[in-house]
Amino acid sequence: MPHKDSGQLAVPVTVLLLGLASSVTSSSSDVRRGPEWRQSVIASSGRIRLADSQSPMSLVTVVFPSKAQTRRPDAPPAWLAEAEKALAELSQLPDRWGGSEKPSHMAIQVAQALVRSMERQGHRVLGSAPIADGGIALYYVEDRERHARFDIDNDGGILVATRAGSEIPTRYAELPEVEAVAELSRFIQYDDDASSAG
Amino acid sequence: MPRQLGDPPFADEEKLYRRLNADWIDSHGRVRDAAIDLLGTSVDRGLFGGPQECLARAGADIVAVGAIAFGDIPSRFDAPPAASYESVVVYEPEHGNDAHSEIQFWRAGDSGPTKPKSNPMKAQIREQLAARLVVHRREDSGI
Dump pLDDT digits (tens) for A29-48: 333 344 444 444 443 344 44
Residues of A in contact with B24 (CB under 8 A): 98, 129
Above 90 in pLDDT, residue B140? no
pLDDT digits (tens, 9 = 90+) for A127-173: 999 999 999 999 999 988 899 999 999 999 999 999 998 888 888 89
What H or E segment, with its residue span, contains residue A53? none
Question: Given this model, what pLDDT does residue B64 score?
Answer: 97
The DSSP secondary-structure symbol of B94 reads B
R_g (Cα) of chain B, nearest Å: 15
Which residues of chain B have a CB within 8 Å of the CB of A168? none
Q: What ipTM goes with this model? A: 0.91
By C-alpha distance, the chain B residue nearest A96 is: B59
Say what the pLDDT of residue A46 is: 44
Which segments within chain B are labelled E, that is strand? Answer: 3-5, 15-21, 41-45, 62-69, 76-77, 85-91, 100-107, 134-137
Number of domains making up chain B: 1
Find the helix packing angle between A78-88 and A105-120, rounded to 10°: 170
Whether B9 is covered by a domain: the verdict is yes
Q: Who has greater pLDDT, A122 or A24? A: A122
Domains and CATH numbers, chain A: 13-67 (no CATH), 74-197 (3.90.1150)
Nearest to B123 among A98, A144, A159 (CB): A159
Residue, of B143 and B123, whose pLDDT is higher: B123
| The pLDDT value given to residue A70 | 53
B143 in a structural domain: no
pLDDT for position A4 = 39
DSSP B32: P
Q: Which of A97, A129, A157 sits opposite B32 (nearest CB)?
A: A129
Kindly list the residues from chain A whose CB atom is less than 8 angstroms away from the CB atom of residue B39. Answer: 100-101, 132-133
pLDDT tens digit string along B69-115?
A: 999 999 999 988 889 999 999 999 998 899 999 999 999 999 999 99
In a domain, B85, yes or no: yes
Nearest CB to B36; choose among A128, A132, A149: A132
- What is residue A46's DSSP assignment? T
- Residue of chain A nearest B27, judged by CA positions: A142
Residue B49's domain spans which residues? Answer: 3-137
pLDDT at B67 over 50: yes
What is the torsion angle, in degrees rounded to the nearest 10, for the CA atoms of residue B64, residue B22, residue A105 and residue A84?
180
Q: Which residues of B touch A95 (CB under 8 A)?
A: none
Q: Collapse the DSSP code of A178 into the 3-class scheme (helix H, G, I; strand E, B; otherwise coil) and give the result.
A: helix
Of B34, B119, B124, the CB nearest to A132: B34
**Closest chain A residue by Cα to residue B60:** A97
Hey, are the CB atoms on A139 and B32 less than 8 Å from each other? yes
SS3 B33: helix
Q: Are A51 and A38 in contact (CB under 8 A)?
A: yes
Q: How many CB pairs under 8 A join A and B?
A: 76
pLDDT at B131 over 50: yes
Which is higher by pLDDT, A166 or A108?
A: A108
Q: A48: which residues sit within 8 A by CB, 6+ positions away?
A: A13, A15, A24, A39, A40, A41, A42, A61, A62, A64
Residues of B in contact with A96 (CB under 8 A): 59
* Cβ <8 Å between B34 and A142: no
B49 vs B95, which has greater pLDDT? B49
pTM to 2 decimal places: 0.75
Looking from the CA of B92 toward its CB, the CA atoms found within 13 Å total 11
Query: Distance from first CA to last CA of chain A, Å, rounded?
Result: 27
**Model confidence at A5: pLDDT above 50:** no
Taking the C-alpha atoms of residue A38 and residue A173, their distance in angstroms, rounded to an integer, is 39
In a domain, B142, yes or no: no
Ramachandran region of residue A46, left (φ > 0), alpha (ψ -120 to 50) or beta? left
